[in-house]
Amino acid sequence: MATAQQDEPPLQERQPLLGDRQGPVSEGNGSGAAGDAERGTFTRNLGTVEAFAIVISIVIGSGVFTSPGSIDTNVPSPGAALVVWLVGGVLAWTGASTLAELGTAIPGEGGVQPYLKYIYGDVFGFLAAWTWIVAVMPATLAILSIVFIESIYSAAGVVGQEANIVHKLLSVGVLVLISLANSISTKASTRLNNFFVGTKFVTIAAVVLVAFSAVAIHVFIGGEEQKGEPLDWYRKSWFGYRDSINPDGSVTHWEDLSSWETLGHLSAALYGALWAYSGWDKAIYISAELSAPAKQLPLAINTSIPTIILCFIAANASYYILLPWKIVSTTDSVAVTAITHFLGPASGTVAAVLICLVVAGSLLGNSFVAGRMAVAAANMNWFPQLFSVVGQVGAQPIEGGDDSSPPDGPKESPSDAPVNAIILSLIISAVYILLGSFRVLLTFNGLGEYTFFFLTVLGAIVLRYREPDLARPYKPTVLLPVIFALVSGFVVIRGAIFAPSQAVILLGLWGLGLAFYSARRRSQARGAV
C-alpha cells in the first residue's frame, strides 16, 4: 500500500499501531519496525484533525442530551451534578491517556486487544475482541439507533413506544443507512463524519447561547419569573441540598440518607456520566490510518477529551439555567425539554432535529470503528479471514486463480471499507434492537466495556514494573492509570451486583467465545499438520 513519502516523520512516529507485529515498537533495522511499517490493512492517510473529529463524533452522541435527567436524580444539588460530569470526564481522560501510552508502545490491530494479548496472553486478547464484536459495539449501535428514533417520536409528542415493533424496525432501518454510508470508503466516511462533528458543536452551542440569552435577559431587563417559574439558577444555591423528584413521582430527601446510601446514588450518577463519555477509547482503533500515530494519537486525545469536557459541563449548566430544577430529573430528553420550555414547541422541534443529526454522527463513528474491530480479529486469525477483506462483499479472490482475472491479479477495489465486517456488526446490532431495550443494553454495554478497560489499565500499571525499559513514546504519570483502575473496578463490581441478569448473559457470551476460540485453535492445528 502506498504511504506518504514527503515530510516523512521519524521511524518511531511512523510505526503502525495496528500492524501485524506482536511485540513492542523497535528502533532496530531490517524487517522489524521498518518492514512492518509498510504492512497493514488500511492506508495511513489520516491526520490529527481526522482523529480529533472521530473522537468528537463518537463521544458527543446522545449522552449529553439524554443522561442529565438520570444524573440529576442521583445527586443532591445541581452543583454536585456538574462535579459528576467533571469527574466522569477526567476519568475518561485518564483512561484515554493510558491507552495512548499502550498504543504508542505495543503495536497491533484492534485497540485493547493487542495490549491484553501482550500483557496476559492470547486468550485475553481474543476475549476482548470477541466481547467488543458480539456485545459492546453492537449494543452501542443498537442503543444509538433506538435513541435516534425515540428523538423523532418525542418531537412528535409520542412517548413510551420503544417496545413497539414499528419503533424497532425503524431503528434497524437507520442502522442500515449508516452501515451503507460507512461501506463506501474511509475518505467518504471521514468527510461525512466531519459534517456531523459540525452539527454537534452547533447543537451544544445553540443550547449554551439560549442559556446565555436567558441570563442576559435577567441581568439587563430584570424579572424574577421565567415562564411562570422561579429563577432557580439565580435564587437558589447551586450546591445546597434540595429534594429530588424521581421519574416515578417519588421524592428523595437527601438529608435523610446515610453516607452509604448517598454513595450508592452518586455511583449511579457517575455511571450515567461514564455512558455519556463512552467512546473515549476509540481513537486507538483508527491509529493504523494515522500518518504519524505516536505523535498524532496523544495530541488528538489531549485536545478532544478536554474539549468534550468543556462542552458537556457548559451544556449541563445551561439546562439548569433554562429549566426549573424540579423538572430536570424527570425527563430523558432534557435538551429538547429545555429549548421547548424557554422558546416554545417550534424551537423544540428544531432542537430535536439537531439532536437526531448528533446521534447519526455518533452512529457513523461507532459503525466506522466496529467494522475495523472485526478486521483486527480476522488478521489475528481469531475470526474467519472473510472479515479481513476490504472493498467488497464476500471472500477476496485468489490472485491468479481465475482465468478471467488480469495477468497481474485481481483488480484493486476503489473502496477500502471493511464491508463484510460492517455487515456482521449490522446483523448482531439488529438482533439486539429487536430483542433488547435502551436501559438493558446500556448496563450490558457498560459491564462489557469496563471489565476489559479495567484489565487493560491494570496491565499498563503492571508493565511499568515488569518492563520498565519498554519504549514508550508517550508516558503519562502512573497516577492516571491507578485512578482509572480503581474507579473502573468499582464500576464493574457495582454493575454486576445491581444488574445480575446482564452479568450472567455476559458470562454466557464469554463461555461461548472460549468454546469458539478452542475450536478454532484445534482446527488451525489440524490444518498445520
Retrieve residue 397's grid coordinates.
479472490
What is the separation, in whole angstroms, between the first and last Cα of the chain? 33
Of 15-19, 418-422, 516-520, give the lowest mean pLDDT range.
15-19
Residue 57 has pLDDT above 80, yes or no: no
- DSSP secondary structure string for all residues of 369-434: HHHHHHHHHHHTTSS-GGGG--SSSSPPPPTT--TTS-TT-SPPPS----HHHHHHHHHHHHHHHH
Residue 186, all three cell numbers: 474511509
pLDDT over 70 at 109, yes or no: no
pLDDT in tens, 131-172: 989 998 899 899 888 888 877 776 666 666 777 888 899 999
β-strand 251-252 against 225-226: which pairing, if any?
unpaired
Distances (CA, A) of 526 to 56, 380, 381, 382, 457: 46, 18, 15, 16, 36
DSSP letter string, 247-316: TTS-EE-GGGS-HHHHHHHHHHHHHHHHHHHTTTTGGGGGGGGBSSHHHHHHHHHHHHHHHHHHHHHHHH
Ordered domains of the chain (ranges, CATH)? 41-397+420-524 (1.20.1740.10)
Tell me what the mean pLDDT of segment 163-192 comes to: 78
Q: If you count DSSP H runs as helices and E runs as strands, how many of each does the chain have, helices first?
A: 21, 4
Q: Which residue did the predictor score with more confidence, 456 or 419? A: 456
Among 63-67, 74-78, 321-325, 391-395, the range scoring the smallest mean pLDDT is: 391-395
369 closest CA partner among 179, 199, 501: 179
Write the pLDDT tens digit of every residue in 315-362: 999 999 988 888 888 776 788 788 888 888 888 788 888 888 777 777
Cell numbers describing residue 71: 444524573
Q: Are 62 and 358 in contact, with CB atoms under 8 Å apart?
A: yes
Give me the pLDDT at residue 21, please: 37
Arithmetic mean of pLDDT, 228-248:
78
Distant-in-sequence, close-in-space partners of 121: CB < 8 Å, separation ≥ 6: none
Give the confidence band of 186 by pLDDT, cuts at 50, 70, 90.
low
DSSP label of 134: I
CB atoms near residue 188 (< 10 Å): 14
Q: How confident is the model at residue 443 (pLDDT cuts 50, 70, 90)?
A: confident
**Burial of 355 from C-beta contacts in 10 A (0-12 / 13-18 / 19+):** buried
pLDDT at residue number 413? 52
Which stretch, 21-30, 182-191, 237-246, has highest mean pLDDT?
Answer: 237-246
Round to whole Å and give the CA distance between 32 and 26. 7
How far apart CA 413 and CA 40 sit, in angstroms, is 16
Residue-averaged pLDDT of the chain: 77
Q: In whole angstroms, what separates CA 163 from the centre of its chain?
A: 25
Supply the pLDDT for residue 409. Answer: 46
Give the pLDDT confidence score for residue 271 in this predicted structure: 76
The Cα–Cα gap between 238 and 212 comes to: 17
Q: Say whether pTM exceeds 0.75.
A: no
Which amino acid, 59? Answer: V
How confident is residue 190, by pLDDT bands cut at 50, 70 and 90? low
